Structure 1
Amino acid sequence: MTNGTVLVTGGSRGIGAAIATRLAQDGYGVVVNYATDAEGATAVVREISQAGGRAAAVRADVADAGQVAAMFEKAGAFGEPLVALVNNAASVGQEAPMQDQQADALNRVVQTNVVGPALCAKHAIRAMSRKRGGVGGSIVNVASVAGQTGGLPNLVPYSATKGAVIAMTKGLAGEVAADGIRVNSVSPGVIDTEMSNRPAARQLAESSPMGRMGHPAEVAAAVSFLVSDAASFVTGTDLPVSGGR
């Protein structure tokens, strides 16, 4: 299987780990990015390798321009062209009413959730652009239905950044279509991860049309489709994976 290399940010656990595992099953070499959870990233790489796939873990804080640049230099570990970037790394930020939000916490959530995906997209475009000698490819941004609905109480900055990710997806899709690059996003609803371990999240999931939380693998399946050639005429689209919410 030599389908090229994909880079998944925040791939050490939760939705990111499910995406990395699914794309490895699809035949891609997967670069599993992490910022602090080396043990989790190593476990994901081990699982992929034991199943016969190709994976490598690379540490980088996506909010740091220098670390992002170094990460993309290391992404050629498999000797295959980069064909996809999945911008999954995110911070939920400070859980507090807006009037109690600290400036440093606000800055951090914006840097991680908005600037980070933009920095990664910058390098992915340079690597994949057909105008620059690349083979084209796909960028999939993991947004959230919170970016459209406002999300849970006390997490307004997080919701705002996810709205920005959806807007960036639509704008960037038009900008790089001629480079042979498609840009889409998925917007998960309440997914069964650590981030959803809140009473308000469980109540929101139970009130959705499907009456349950989603599973990380269900988000990964949507990402798999958007990365694949099956979505060759799909760009600038946000795909909700939210149980009907």
Structure 2
Amino acid sequence: MNRAVVVVTGGTRGIGAAIARELAATCDLVLSYRSNADAATALRAELESLGASCELVQADVTVDGDIERLFDSAIARFGRIDGLVNNAGATMHIGPLAETPADVVRAVIELNLTAAVLCARRAVQLMSTRLGGTGGVIVNISSGAATLGSPGEYVHYAAAKAGIDALTTGLAKELGPEGIRVVGVAPGTIRTEIHADAGDAGRPDRVAARVPLGRAGEVGDIAPIVAWLFGPGAAFISGTTIRVAGGA
């Protein structure tokens, strides 16, 4: 079986790790992580037990040189890439915009939007049939916040994710003739460490009542959809963002 080679940014924790587990049955993986080497190493062992070859790359995707090193590592190990999951992200703060430090606003936009655009740029350089590649798939992890705006919590993050939705739309039109599909997935409130990292570990339970399906989501609600987008059943899907938010 020909196994696709997929790069997953932020691929060793939360939604990213769940996506890696789903992809492991059919794909070899290149996972970036920022700092938790122990968690990354443990996940690699798990993925290899599932049959995937897995390359770990310590990288901060807000640093241009680290983006280059991430994709260079993929090429050095596998000789090509066939897909990218732009997953790395964080809210970093919860509160009204007026109470959000300027450096946090800049950091959130840099991580959630600028880094994703630059990772997509590098992936296109390697996958585009116009540039000598064989095509591929880019999946951008957006957020339900992109359309709700998240007032009082993190409008800076919502604004960045709205940019991701525009990236998905525009890049899909640009790259369709070059053999690359671009699709977004927009999770709602999901139980991951993103909330604790921003200082509000109890947020999923606190906001669950707003969700029509009556609960916060789990990483297992997101990962199978992302994995499906790399398969033949999604071959005619591009330029759209799939909302996975329990009706919210």
TM range (shorter): over 0.9
CA 1:96/1:33 → structure 2, altered by over 3 Å: closer, same or farther? same
* Mean CA deviation greater in 12-21 or 199-208: 199-208
**Conserved? CA contact 1:146–1:152, under 8 Å:** no
- SS of the counterpart of 2:176? helix
Unaligned residue ranges in structure 1 (runs of 5+)? none
- SS of the counterpart of 2:183? strand
CA 1:175/1:244 → structure 2, altered by over 3 Å: closer, same or farther? same
Q: Provide the C-alpha distance between the structure 2 equivalents of 1:148 and 1:36, rounded to a whole number of angstroms.
A: 31
| C-alpha RMSD over aligned residues | 1.5
Match of 1:16 in 2: 16
- SS of the counterpart of 1:6? strand
Task: For residues 182-226 of structure 1, give each alpha carbon's deviation from its aligned partner in whole angstroms, at most 9, with x where no partner exists.
Answer: 111000011111224544432322332211121112211110111
Q: Provide the C-alpha distance between the structure 2 equivalents of 1:101 and 1:207, rounded to a whole number of angstroms.
A: 24
TM-score, scaled relative to structure 2: 0.93
Match of 2:245 in 1: 242
Task: For residues 127-179 of structure 1, give each alpha carbon's deviation from its aligned partner in whole angstroms, at most 9, with x where no partner exists.
Answer: 10011221101000000001100126321111111111111111111111111
Unaligned residue ranges in structure 2 (runs of 5+)? none
> Structure 1 counterpart of 2:16, which letter?
G
* Mean CA deviation greater in 181-190 or 146-155: 146-155
- Note the 1:131-150 alignment, pairs <5 A: 131-150=130-149
1:59 positional shift:
1.2
Match of 1:61 in 2: 60
- Note the 1:178-217 alignment, pairs <5 A: 178-196=177-195, 198=200, 199-217=202-220
TM-score, scaled relative to structure 1: 0.94
CA 1:218/1:200 → structure 2, altered by over 3 Å: closer, same or farther? closer
- Note the 1:81-160 alignment, pairs <5 A: 81-151=80-150, 153-160=152-159
Moved over 3 A (4+): 196-201
- SS of the counterpart of 1:82? coil
Match of 2:160 in 1: 161
Match of 2:6 in 1: 6
Is it true that 1:222 corresponds to 2:242 in the alignment? no
Aligned residues: 244
Task: For residues 78-135 of structure 1, give each alpha carbon's deviation from its aligned partner in whole angstroms, at most 9, with x where no partner exists.
Answer: 4353111000001212223211222211111111111100110011001100112211
